Amino acid sequence: MPQLKLFLRHWSLFILPFLVFQCGSYKAKPYDFPRPVDTKSKPIAYQEKKVYHIESAGIYVDNRFDGARVNDCRFNEDTLQITIEAENEPINPSPYYGFKIWSDTEKEILLELNYPNGRHRYYPKLSRNGKSWEWIDSTDFRLAADSVNAYLNLSVSPDTIWLAAQELNTSSDVRAWCLEKAAHSDVSFSTIGKSRLDRDLLHLEIGRGELRKKEAVLIISRQHPPEVTGYLAMQAFVDAILEDTPIANAFRAQFRILVFPLMNPDGVDLGHWRHNVGGVDLNRDWAYYHQPEVRQVANYFVKTLRQHKNKAVLGLDFHSTWDDVFYTMTDEVPAHIKGFKDYWLQGIAEAIPGYTPRDAPSAALTPTSKNWFATQLKADAVTYEIGDDTPRDFIREKGRISAYEMMKLLILRD
């Protein structure tokens, strides 16, 4: 018995470090990018959820729903002033707004979108139900001379209308979309963790058959809450992968596709301009993983790829900016698939008459998801940006065609 205890003691001394190392190897490693960013949590200001009742004008403004953003509401000299403030500062100037509005009687009003610490970015959208949206008529909209604030001529009545910077796609909407996709036989839907406010981090696993040793494509979206057009492109991209076509069927059989459609559910539901509840730009946290959303997704990628011996060949992060652009890696960053981005963009250009994709390569200097895919997973990496005002039918077309060209390249490459 003493000999057995001695053996077990020595065995534990040997095996414990091995187990710790193995567990640690299933987590994303810190990485010192040349231009680091402080992503430790910072305080944010929460908007007050309420109905603003302007008694003198008989007008009501409501921000008590997910995806709303209003910080103050006043009626001055026949103008209804809606104040929009960021969750904290400094911050990218992406002032998001969203509210319901109605009145006691039918009337025409002048509405001012007021940004004390920003400037107008998103063209107003109107809805009668929060689901179907149309852009406000250009004759009813103008910018101030300094392009900071915006003015709208608006017809209001006892019937509620919704007004927002972009179409609402809240965490419940994204969940409904995930459940719809999960009806496909090659899709499984799960959650892999929680946000700071306990919202689910939603995940779609796409593929057919055995996971082991397959190459993997990683897709994420909505790190920045208002960037809805990138999310719409991601939806069209995923839909193309799920089509019942020879190339899509072959792609799902050959590859493992991991999708996180909503990286920042708290920010989306709270109507944030850019940050999560930790007051941080999640797309600068891919080095030390201070924020739980990035940490859990990065760890999941590392763990599941290693467990199943998958090689990540491509990482795509869908965003929105002023115009359509593909942020790619410079040639100094080794590519997993030689010439992939050039062939991919060329294929997209040839498939869409009159369209030339804009390629904007950059080195891996900052802790973004694109640079993390490239440096940590050694995958080809692209930030797929869609313009704020890109026509929605073109977003769907571009998303579908770019997915098809990607699948074709990955399947048919040498």
Question: Tokens standing for 271?
Answer: 């109507």
Q: How far apart are CA 52 and CA 61, in angstroms?
A: 5
Dihedral, 282, 288, 294, 296 alpha carbons, nearest 10: -170
**CA distances (Å), origin 98, targets 70, 211, 293, 327:** 7, 42, 24, 29
Query: Which secondary structure element, helix H or strand E, spans residue 373, and what is its range?
Result: helix 369-376
**CA distances (Å), origin 329, targets 255, 348, 353, 369:** 23, 18, 26, 12
Mean pLDDT per 10-residue segment, the chain (414 residues):
45 38 71 98 98 96 98 93 98 96 97 95 97 97 94 98 98 98 98 98 97 98 98 98 98 98 99 98 98 98 98 98 97 88 97 97 97 97 98 98 98 80
Supply the Cα-derived Rg of the chain in whole angstroms.
24
Annotate 348-368 with b (16+ C-beta within 10 A) or e (fewer): beebbeeeebeeeeeebebbb
Q: How far apart are CA 294 and CA 155, in angstroms?
A: 42
Q: How far apart are CA 163 and CA 80, in angstroms?
A: 14
Q: How far apart are CA 150 and CA 135, in angstroms?
A: 15
Judge whether 101 and 163 are in contact, CB under 8 Å.
yes
Q: How far apart are CA 57 and CA 166, in angstroms?
A: 27
For the chain, the domains span 51-164, 171-412
Q: How far apart are CA 381 and CA 378, in angstroms?
A: 9
Q: How far apart are CA 290 and CA 386, in angstroms?
A: 28
Backbone CA torsion sign across 302, 307, 311, 315: negative
The predicted pLDDT at position 251 comes to: 98
Q: How far apart are CA 11 and CA 22, in angstroms?
A: 16
CATH architecture of 51-164: Sandwich (2.60)
The predicted pLDDT at position 414 comes to: 57
The predicted pLDDT at position 156 comes to: 97
Bridge partners, residue 413, by sequence: none
Burial label for 110, CB within 10 Å (0-12, 13-18, 19+), is middle
Of 227, 365, 291, nearest to 38 (Cα)? 291
Q: Residue 149: what residue type? A: N
Question: Tokens standing for 250?
Answer: 């072959």
Q: How far apart are CA 17 and CA 7, in angstroms?
A: 16
Q: How far apart are CA 70 and CA 271, in angstroms?
A: 9
Of 260, 233, 248, 262, nearest to 185 (Cα)? 248
Q: Enter the DSSP assignment of 1.
A: -
Specify the CATH class of 171-412 in words. alpha beta
Of 123, 66, 5, nearest to 271 (Cα)? 66
